[in-house]
Amino acid sequence: MRYLLNRGEVLTVEAIDAVEALTVAAGQAWITRSSDTRDYCLEAGDRLAIRKGEKLIVEALQETSVTVTGNESKASILISAVWAGRSPA
């Protein structure tokens, strides 16, 4: 699944099952993940493995295209919302 985000938009992804990775196809994104105390700044071509049950908050630092990949026949991905200009509380 591919998502196009404008600068400042935030996408929340919860990897419920069979989700493998998030890849930045274009642009730049700031990633916060529930299973890690570090944050990640990914650029076009960068890939981040996703763990089962993990929640990601993805903020576009510029116009950005991200792809969430997995076994589509088994994957369950919960997309909470997209917020413009602020992180979810």
Amino acid at 74: K
pLDDT value of residue 48: 95
C-alpha 49 chain-centroid distance: 10
Task: State mean pLDDT over 82-89.
Answer: 52
Compute the residue count for the chain: 89
* C-alpha of 82 from chain center: 11
Domains of the chain from N-terminus onward: 2-81 (2.60.120.10)
Residue pLDDT, tens place only, 61-76? 999 999 988 766 554 5
* Closest of 65, 79, 82 to residue 29, by C-alpha: 65
3-state secondary structure of 38: coil
pLDDT number for residue 82 = 56
